[in-house]
């Protein structure tokens, strides 16, 4: 067994244990393997161990891996900051985008996706930590963005994503994740049908699952420590 397949097994066991504690069905929680900085061979190992969905943060790096691993039929999620000059490449090559925080970016993605393809699945990134984080729309501006986005063609708004500030305080982590869930529930009461909460990473996936995460985005616990060039 390779390190990556053993790590994947351990992460799946953590997800199952947290789901059980939360009284939730484990099938309702998807594992997204976050593979930024790792070469295609490591992703191939993860795919051989049964992993289907991969998350990438940088457009050029992601496209190179999508190309290198095109034989595997994997599902690609874009989870990093997105600039308007990269929207076409993302709309053409990814199935999901988790990190939308401006309507202008969503409009460009919708136009580039076109009507011939299945809708691009998207989440709005919300800044649930206030000053401590720079990315994401503020909770107060989320409803306006969600309604604007839901009206666009070629995109399907699935839910909300957050990256709370890192903390060892389980209670604080749960509070941030609960805030994202409350925001999603409020939008659903306003008539949207959002089924996705993309929240929880290697160090806090248990807290996220206890608060309703439907996609956990896990990098280092699967692939090991990242080294940035």
Question: Does residue 79 interact with ligand PLP by CB under 6 A?
Answer: yes
Q: Which is nearer to ligand PLP, 83 or 188 (CB)?
A: 83
Report the residue from 36, 77, 108, 113 that binds ligand PLP according to the rule CB under 6 A. 36
Question: Does residue 217 interact with ligand PLP by CB under 6 A?
Answer: yes
Question: Does residue 175 interact with ligand PLP by CB under 6 A?
Answer: no
Provide the Cα torsion 176, 197, 127, 191; round to 10°. -110
Closest by alpha carbon to 37, among 20, 54, 57?
A: 57
Cβ atoms 141, 183 nearer than 8 A: no
Question: Does residue 220 interact with ligand PLP by CB under 6 A?
Answer: yes
Q: Which is nearer to ligand PLP, 153 or 227 (CB)?
A: 227
Closest by alpha carbon to 129, among 175, 83, 84?
A: 175
Closest by alpha carbon to 152, among 117, 125, 115, 181?
A: 115
Q: Which is nearer to ligand PLP, 135 or 175 (CB)?
A: 135
C-alpha 94: how far from its chain's center?
12
* Dihedral-angle region of residue 21 (phi above 0 means left; psi in -120 to 50 means alpha; beta otherwise): alpha
Taking contact as CB under 6 A, which single stretch among the options 126-134, 141-149, 207-215, 218-226 is the one that binds ligand PLP? 218-226
Q: Which is nearer to ligand PLP, 172 or 186 (CB)?
A: 172
Question: Does residue 8 interact with ligand PLP by CB under 6 A?
Answer: no
Question: Does residue 11 interact with ligand PLP by CB under 6 A?
Answer: no
Tell me which H or E stretch contains 161: strand 155-161
Report the residue from 97, 122, 201, 208 that binds ligand PLP according to the rule CB under 6 A. 201
Question: Does residue 65 interact with ligand PLP by CB under 6 A?
Answer: no
Sign, CA torsion 146/98/75/154: positive
How much is the CA Rg of the chain, to the nearest whole Å? 17
Report the residue from 19, 31, 34, 105 that binds ligand PLP according to the rule CB under 6 A. 34
How many of the other CB atoms lie within 10 Å of CB of 125?
Answer: 25
- In the window 139-168, what residues touch ligand PLP (CB under 6 A)? 163
Residue of closest CB approach to ligand PLP: 219
Residues contributing to the site for ligand PLP (CB under 6 A): 34, 36, 57, 79, 163, 201-203, 217-221
């Amino acid at each position: 067994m390779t390190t990556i397949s053993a790590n994947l097994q351990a992460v799946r066991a953590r997800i199952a244990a947290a789901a059980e504690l939360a009284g939730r069905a484990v099938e309702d929680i998807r594992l997204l393997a976050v593979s930024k900085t790792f070469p295609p061979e490591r992703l191939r190992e993860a795919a051989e161990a049964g992993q289907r969905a991969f998350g990438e943060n940088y457009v050029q790096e992601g496209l190179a891996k999508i190309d290198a691993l095109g034989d595997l039929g994997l599902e690609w999620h874009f989870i990093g900051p997105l600039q308007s000059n990269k929207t076409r490449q993302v709309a053409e090559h990814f199935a999901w985008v988790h990190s939308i925080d401006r309507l202008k970016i969503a409009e460009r993605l919708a136009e580039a996706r076109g009507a011939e393809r299945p809708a691009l699945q998207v989440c709005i990134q919300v800044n649930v930590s206030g000053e401590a984080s720079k990315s994401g729309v503020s909770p107060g501006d989320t409803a306006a963005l969600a309604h604007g986005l839901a009206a666009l063609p070629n995109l399907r708004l699935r839910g909300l994503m957050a990256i709370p500030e890192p903390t060892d305080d389980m209670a604080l982590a749960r509070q941030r994740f609960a805030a994202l869930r409350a925001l999603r529930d409020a939008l659903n009461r306003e008539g949207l049908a959002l089924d996705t909460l993309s929240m929880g990473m290697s160090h806090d996936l248990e807290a996220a699952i206890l608060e309703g995460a439907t996609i956990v985005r896990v990098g280092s616990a699967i692939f090991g420590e990242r080294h940035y060039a």
